[in-house]
Amino acid sequence: MQRLSLEPTALHVARLAPLLEWLQVHLALTVLLRTSYSAYLELHRKGHNSHVLLLEEHPEAPASTLRLEADNVEFERLAPRLMSQGAHCLEASREHPSASRGCAWRVLTMPLPGDWQLMLLALDPHRCQHLGPHGLTP
């Protein structure tokens, strides 16, 4: 699992404890450093590490979306468990093809503590379009 590269590394939350507990229990994220007002999390993906810093701020800190990318195996492991707890999975299909050429994204969305949202993304390699020699679909 990894943080999407365009997403911020530091996330400001109103209440740290419930969000951190959820991320540890359900996604098994590693906490590298924990203080009373912050947590530094490590995400692993195929030998590459990325990090997320959660900072507790004032109670009115606006909620946002935590966007993470998982590989197909990890997504298939997590999706049934998260869907049993209220997550929704959106997938490209023949009736509703992917907007990304050559890709078949799966997106799982779920509410998190503190009005946050989880967006877990993964490519489904079994449903990706085959690209021709110039990167165009045949």
DSSP secondary-structure letter at 44?
A: E
Q: What confidence score (pLDDT) does residue 1 get?
A: 67
Residues with Cβ within 8 Å of residue 86, at least 6 apart in sequence: 110, 111
What's this model's pTM, rounded to 2 decimal places? 0.78
Please write the tens of the pLDDT for every residue from 38-48.
Answer: 999 988 766 66
Say what the alpha-carbon torsion angle 47, 113, 105, 27 is, to the nearest 10 degrees. Answer: 30
pLDDT digits (tens, 9 = 90+) for 60-93: 888 889 999 888 888 989 999 999 999 998 875 5
The dihedrals phi and psi of 82, each to the nearest 5 degrees, come to: -70, -35
Q: What fold does the segment set 2-127 form as a domain?
A: 2,3-Dihydroxybiphenyl 1,2-Dioxygenase; domain 1 (3.10.180)
Instruction: Judge whether 20 and 54 are in contact, CB under 8 Å.
Output: yes
Angle in degrees, CA 113, 17, 73, rounded to 5: 60
